[in-house]
Amino acid sequence: MDDTMQTRVDAIVVGAGFGGIYMCKKLTDQGLSVKLIEAASDVGGTWYWNRYPGAMSDTNSHLYRYSWDKEDLQKCPWSRTYLRQPEILRYLQDVVERHRIRQHMQFDTQMTSAEWNPEINSWTVKTNAALRFEAKYLVTAVGLLSKKNYPSYPGIETYKGELYHSGAWPKQYDLSGKRVGVIGNGSTGVQIITAIADDVKRLISFQRTPQYVVPSGDKIATPDYRDKINADYEAIWKQAKESVFAFGFEESTTPLMSVSKEERERIFENAWNEGNGFRFMFGTFSDIVTSEEANEAAAQFIRTKIRGRVNDPEKARRLLPKEIYAKRPLCDTEYYEKFNSDHVDIIDLNETPITEFTEKGIKTDDGTEHDLDAIIFATGFDAVDGNYTSIPFKGKNGQTLRQRWSDGATSYLGLSVPDFPNLFMILGPNGPFTNLPPSIETQVEFIDELIAQSIRSSSGQGRYSIIEATSNAEHEWTDLCDNISKDSLFRRSDSWIFGANVPGKKKSVLFYFGGLGEYRKVLDAEAKSGYKGYSFY
Would strands 202-207 and 344-348 be described as parallel, antiparallel, or unpaired?
A: parallel
Residue 420 amino acid letter: F
Check residue 18 for interaction with ligand FAD (CB under 6 A). yes
Angle, nearest 10°, between helix axes 18-29 and 85-98?
10
Region binding ligand FAD by CB under 6 A among candidate stretches 135-143, 212-220, 336-344, 413-421: 135-143
Q: Are strands 354-357 and 213-215 parallel, antiparallel or unpaired?
A: unpaired
- Binds 110: which of ligand NA7, ligand FAD, none (CB < 5-8 Å by kind): ligand FAD
CB 335 within 8 A of CB 309: no
Query: 3-class secondary structure for 410-474?
Result: CCECCCECCCCCCEEECCCCCEECCCHHHHHHHHHHHHHHHHHHHHHHHCCCCCCCCEEECHHHH
Span of 12-20, 182-190, 281-289, 504-512 interacting with ligand NA7 by CB under 6 A = 182-190
Q: Is 496 in the site for ligand NA7 (CB under 6 A)?
A: yes
Q: In this chain, which stretch among 16-24, 315-323, 405-413, 459-467 interacts with ligand FAD, using CB under 6 A?
A: 16-24
DSSP label at 106? Answer: E
Site for ligand NA7, residues 124 to 153, rule: CB under 6 A: 145, 151
Binding part of the chain for ligand NA7, among 3-11, 178-186, 256-264, 392-400 by CB under 6 A, reads 178-186
73, 156, 349, 452: which one binds ligand NA7 (CB under 6 A): 349
Q: Residue 298: which of 309, 289, 307 has the closest Cα?
A: 289
Nearest to 354 by CA among 373, 340, 367, 335: 367
What DSSP string describes 331-364?
Answer: EESSTGGGGGSTTEEEEETTTS-EEEE-SSEEEE
28-64 as b/e, with b when 16 or more CB fall inside 10 Å? beeebebbbbbbbeebbbbbbbbbbbbbbbbbbbbbb
Q: How far apart are CA 9 and CA 505, in angstroms?
A: 35
What φ, ψ does residue 168 adopt, rounded to 5°? -145, 55
> For strand 34-37 and strand 56-60, is the pairing parallel, antiparallel, or unpaired?
unpaired
Smaller CB separation from ligand NA7, 213 or 523:
213
Q: Does 379 bind ligand NA7 (CB under 6 A)?
A: yes
Classify 460 in phi/psi space as left (phi over 0), alpha (psi -120 to 50) or beta: left
Q: Give residue 530's region: left, alpha or beta (phi > 0; psi -120 to 50).
A: left
493 binding partner (options ligand NA7, ligand FAD, none; Cβ < 5 to 8 Å by kind)? none
Binding of residue 364 to ligand NA7 (CB under 6 A): no
Q: How many helices (H) and strands (E) does the chain have?
A: 15, 24
Q: Which residue number, 20 or 189, has a Cβ lying nearer to ligand NA7?
A: 189
Contacting range for ligand NA7; rule: CB under 6 A; set: 99-107, 285-293, 372-380, 438-446: 372-380
For ligand NA7, give the closer residue by CB, 325 or 464: 325
User: Judged by CB under 6 A, which stretch of 116-124, 279-287, 375-383, 422-430 contacts ligand NA7?
Assistant: 375-383
> Shortest Cβ distance from residue 136 to ligand FAD (Å)?
19
Which residues in the 192-221 window bind ligand NA7 by CB under 6 A? 208-209
Number of amino acids touching ligand FAD (CB under 6 A): 35
Angle at the Cα of 428 from the Cα atoms of 426 and 433, rounded to 5 degrees = 95
Select from 33-41, 168-176, 355-363, 416-424 the region that touches ligand FAD (CB under 6 A): 33-41
Give the Cβ contact number of residue 528 at 10 Å: 9
**99-to-55, 65, 393, 422 alpha-carbon distances in Å:** 26, 15, 31, 26
Residue 408 contact partner, candidates ligand NA7, ligand FAD, none, CB within 5 to 8 A by sort of partner: none
412, β-bridge pairs: 416
Exactly one of 9, 11, 13, 17 binds ligand FAD (CB under 6 A); which one? 17
Binding piece for ligand NA7, criterion CB under 6 A, among 17-25, 113-121, 312-320, 376-384:
376-384
Pattern 376-415, binding to ligand FAD, x per CB under 6 A?
-----------x---x------------------------
Nearer to ligand NA7, 186 or 408 (CB): 186
Q: Which of 15, 45, 380, 421 binds ligand NA7 (CB under 6 A)?
A: 380
362 binding ligand NA7? (CB under 6 A): no
Q: Candidates 11, 32, 138, 145: give the one binding ligand FAD (CB under 6 A).
A: 145
Q: Which of 188, 194, 333, 411 binds ligand FAD (CB under 6 A)?
A: 188
Binding of ligand FAD by 373 (CB under 6 A): no
Residue 518 to residue 537: CA distance in whole angstroms:
29
Nearer to ligand NA7, 109 or 187 (CB): 187
Instruction: Please state, in angstroms and as integers, the Cα–Cα distance from residue 267 to each residue in 61, 282, 422, 531, following that order.
Output: 24, 12, 48, 44
The count of residues interacting with ligand NA7 (CB under 6 A) is 19
Amino acid in position 455: I
Q: How far is the CB of 402 from ligand FAD (least distance, A)?
A: 14
> Would you tell me which residues interact with ligand FAD (CB under 6 A)?
14-20, 37-40, 45-46, 48, 50, 55, 57-59, 64, 110-111, 141-143, 145-146, 188, 387, 391, 426-427, 435-436, 440
> Would you tell me which residues interact with ligand NA7 (CB under 6 A)?
145, 151, 166, 183-189, 208-209, 328, 349, 378-380, 496, 501
